[in-house]
Amino acid sequence: MLGRIQTALGVVLLLSTPALQAEDDEEDIRLYMQGRYVFQRNCAVCHGRMGRGDGELAKGVTIKPRTFRKGVFKFRSTPMGKLPTDADLQRTIRTGISGSMMPAFTALSAADLRAVIAYIKQLSPRWDDVALKARPVELPAVPDWFSHAEQHEKHARAGRATFKLHCASCHGEAGEGDGSAAKGLADVWGDPIRPAKLNVAHHRSGDSPSDLFRSVALGLDGTPMVGFLAALGEDKIWDLIAYIESLPPSQEQ
């Protein structure tokens, strides 16, 4: 009896597999077409109709819109060289990139957001490489001392030495992005790149201490900015973040 039931179930599954596959394919096509529509409507003017970063508004700007054809992304929670997670892409789309042409798409629906991410992931073959996919790196919570002014100042003083040793050559002594090694830098897309100004109210990777920690710890793929988690460890990076937050604000935001 049991054997006959198992056989019957096997036949049902075998017969239903093509139908299920067809439904999956239809859903993938629907998601792709929806994502393509969202992309052409919201993104192509900067990123180009084919995602090459050559849209109409890309001409003459200093910070070029991303080309999605290389499948390389700066802002990720994954190890260097790995692809970002969907959550990483969502964060960038939702919050934008300060100091660039990338706005915050806060009004985009959840369905459109999911669809446009699916479309972007069709623009580079890197997304098909399983070896490039990774789980997010588990990063620590913001230390309690961050909310205490005296302790924050103490840790900022400790972070100053780390900044001078590891960061000032590119980002400059005052965080203006004008260090001695800043000239002639280029990114993997072949565009000139200037180290980020750190003495600003809004940072490209996000405004929270955790956002800054993530960028310092994991680096920015496609740029000379490497990750410092292994070299410095969590405590020194938090001291460094405290120092960056203490930098006198730039007169030119």
Residue range 117-173, pLDDT digits in tens: 999 999 999 999 999 999 999 999 999 999 999 999 999 999 999 999 999 999 999
Is the separation of the CB atoms in 49 and 40 below 8 Å? yes
Tell me which residue of 224, 219, 206 sits closest to 87, measured CA to CA: 206
Q: Is the pLDDT of residue 6 over 60?
A: no
Give the H/E segment covering residue 56: none
Give residues with Cβ within 8 angstroms of 58, minimum separation 6: 46, 47, 48, 64, 65
Kindly state the tokens that stand for 80. Answer: 């260097």
Q: Is the pLDDT of residue 4 over 80?
A: no
User: At 74, is the pLDDT very low, low, confident or very high (cuts 50, 70, 90)?
Assistant: very high
Q: Is the pLDDT of residue 102 over 60?
A: yes
- Residues 21-58: b if buried by 16+ CB within 10 A, e if exposed: eeeeeeeeeebeebbbebbeebbbebbbeebbbbbeeb
Number of H helices, E strands in the chain: 8, 0
Q: Is the pLDDT of residue 16 over 60?
A: no
- Distance between CA atoms of residues 27 and 203, nearest Å: 37
Give residues with Cβ within 8 angstroms of 1, minimum separation 6: none
Q: Is the pLDDT of residue 5 over 80?
A: no
- Distance between CA atoms of residues 174 and 159, nearest Å: 13
Average pLDDT over residues 75-96: 97
Q: Is the pLDDT of residue 24 over 80?
A: no
pLDDT at 235: 98
Average pLDDT over the chain reads: 90
Q: Is the pLDDT of residue 88 over 90?
A: yes
pLDDT at 13: 47
User: At 8, is the pLDDT very low, low, confident or very high (cuts 50, 70, 90)?
Assistant: very low
Average pLDDT over residues 187-194: 89
Average pLDDT over residues 177-203: 92
